Chain A
Amino acid sequence: MSLEDLKFSKDHEWVKVEGDTVTVGISDHAQKELGDVVYVELPPIGDTFAKGEACSNIESVKAVNDIYAPVSGEIVDINSALEDNPELINQSPYEEGWMFKMKMEDEGDLDDLMDADIYEEYLQGA
């Protein structure tokens, strides 16, 4: 997967858009900051979340962090491999470490997300 295909939120989630479905994970920067992930709590399939709402959390050796829905919509799939292998988030944040898929309600939600190069600048400034 190329980073060019992804969009990023200010809370360090990445989003890959395929039609009206988005795949969500956390950025490489975020996994490095969190440190070794020891537990991932994923949302139930079928639940709906508003954009910006906490829908999942990641526990690392340092802390428990909320993951926010980058768009509004319904959870249609989750990466259950993370239940037994939470370290996938550290090892492969953009591929095997994806977290969940959402059916997006409004494509306009994507407008607030950043392209990879803008996100990179955002990290420099942060």
Chain B
Amino acid sequence: MKKLPELIFAAGKEGKVGYAYSACEFGDDLIAVDAEHLRQDIEDFPQVSEVEIVRHYTNLSHLNHSVDSGFYPLGSCTMKYNPKINEKIAAFEEFSAHPYSPHHLVQGNLEVIKDLEEWLCKLTGMPAFTLTPAAGAHGEFVGMQIIRKYLSSKGEPRKIVLIPDSAHGTNPASAHFAGYEIKEIPSNEEGILDTAVVKEHLNEDVAALMMTNPNTLGIFEKNIVEIAAALHENGSLLYMDGANMNAFMGIVRPGDLGADVLHLNLHKTFATPHGGGGPGSGPVGVAAHLKEFLPVPLVDENKDTKQFSVRYFNEGIGRVKNYYGNFLVLVRALVYLYSLGRENLDKVAEDAVLNANYIRKKLEPLLDLPYKSRTLHEVVFSDKNLNVKTLDIAKRLLDFGIHPFTIYFPLIVHGAMMIEPTETESKETLDAFIAAMKQVLQEAAENPEILENAPHHTPVRRLDEVYAARKLIIKWQKEENN
């Protein structure tokens, strides 16, 4: 078992330093900060040498679980392996041009942006894209602002956005920040939206419906075409949250289904780094009638001269991010697309769906499956009929070196266990996970204390999450830690 190192505050000795600076030879007068604002000594600040501090944080980092070290089936988050070739090419120094470089010197970089835009347009059936949003939720916000601008330009700013109860949790927040009032719509017993239910909620105040497809139950919203038609007839728009695009990339195009606005998560579907390892990227695609409302800058190509130029002004919502978005993330996504090739992108989706269904079939006899519709890229079980809680199962999985799946989300499933293996995992890894789950569930039946006291083999045992949430202390304090 890996050990948790002592706190850095316990390390070192009085007077030890990493670097020693000589006194300022020009005197203290030249220090830009007034003496009263300078902190002289920081009480109990750790005093350690350079190598001690390096070892401390290196050892701590070795305690992290990552997709490079083990299985990470966190549903909804799509924690798939990021091929190292993406990193290698993104590190080419030619790509790291200054963002204010004259455009004629960075034609290659502008070509990357245009090329990726065209890939995404073709894959999604959306006529135009912006690559500048910095993450999925940022993309949602940008998408909703585009909708607001479009409707205002027609002289009918509407105020309500409909969101199903099986949508991503960020959707209501994004729409709210864009100034909309949220109305939640219930999904039916199949776990999807009914066209009739959507129609009941339509009126002249409805600006849009935000649909996560496939939804957070891992189920395809098969009424999407009818729902889009009903919305359009009402003068409302369909926003599709395409964060789960890995379920049908290359097979289904949201533009063909009637989506007016769509965001993608490059850090999910297109295998660029994720979460704290980001930064992310959440491109937004729009239908033809919304094209002029995209944020700037936008890259144009002169097809005759093969020259790329940058457009800074249009009728749109302005800028949403400095420079060109997270450009090196765009490079990684483009490398991913070229290294797989168009003909293999369908297989990404097929394997993501196959892996999720393999887990579903193997675990279905042991766990309650509340929604029995066809599973796409992720499967959601419940803890109904078990004598332990979802949290206990998740904690016990840590002992097997497996990152637990997403728990207690979506909210419409009791004790939800949301499992997304992704296409990058082998059958052997899936079998090892299934074997671990079977053992855990057997322990749950025979000896539930094993789960209730889990984890047993991790650097720290079960943390008091309730106490931590109620008494939030985010800074080291001497007294309270003793």
Contacts and interface: CB of A to CB of B under 8 A. Distances in A.
B466 A63 contact: no
Contact of B469 (A33, A39, A63): A39
Contacts, number: 19
Interface residues of A, number: 11
B465 A61 contact: yes
Interface residues of B, number: 9
B358 to A, nearest CB: 28
Interface in A27-42: 33, 36, 38-39
A86 B469 CA distance: 11
Interface string A53-96: 00000010111010000000000000000000011000000000
A98 to B, nearest CB: 19
B95 interface: no
A36 B466 contact: yes
Interface string B442-476: 00000000000000000000000110011000000
A62 B465 CA distance: 10
B408 A87 contact: no
Nearest to B465: A61
Contacts of B407: 62
B141 interface: no
Contacts of B414: 33
Nearest to A62: B408
Interface string B220-260: 00000000000000000000000000000000000000000
Interface string B402-423: 0000011101001000000000
A63 B466 CA distance: 12
B185 to A, nearest CB: 15
A33 B469 CA distance: 18
Contact of B409 (A33, A63, A65, A86): A63
A61 B409 contact: no
Contacts of A38: 466, 469-470
Nearest to A36: B466
Output the residue of B408, B409, B411, B470 with the most chain A CB within 10 A.
B470
Interface string B382-410: 00000000000000000000000001110
A65 B470 CA distance: 17
Contact of B408 (A36, A59, A63): A63
A36 B466 CA distance: 7
B408 A86 contact: no
A63 B470 contact: no
Which of B408, B409, B411, B469 neighbours the largest number of chain A CB atoms within 10 Å of its CB?
B469
A99 B182 CA distance: 24
Contacts of A39: 469-470
A86 B467 CA distance: 11
A63 B411 contact: yes
- Most interface-central of A59, A63, A86 (chain B CB within 10 A): A63
A65 B184 CA distance: 13
A15 B465 CA distance: 31
A55 to B, nearest CB: 15
Contacts of A63: 408-409, 411
Contacts of B411: 63, 65
B159 to A, nearest CB: 16
Contacts of B409: 63
B129 to A, nearest CB: 33
Interface in A10-47: 33, 36, 38-39
Contacts of B466: 36, 38, 61
B83 to A, nearest CB: 35
Interface of B: 407-409, 411, 414, 465-466, 469-470
Interface of A: 33, 36, 38-39, 59, 61-63, 65, 86-87
Chain A to chain B: the 8 pairs with minimum beta-carbon distance, closest first: A38-B469, A36-B466, A62-B408, A38-B470, A61-B465, A61-B466, A63-B408, A63-B411
19 contacts: A33-B414, A36-B466, A38-B466, A38-B469, A38-B470, A39-B469, A39-B470, A59-B469, A61-B465, A61-B466, A61-B469, A62-B407, A62-B408, A63-B408, A63-B409, A63-B411, A65-B411, A86-B470, A87-B470
Given A63-B408, A63-B409, A86-B470, 8 more contacts: A33-B414, A38-B469, A38-B470, A59-B469, A61-B466, A62-B407, A65-B411, A87-B470
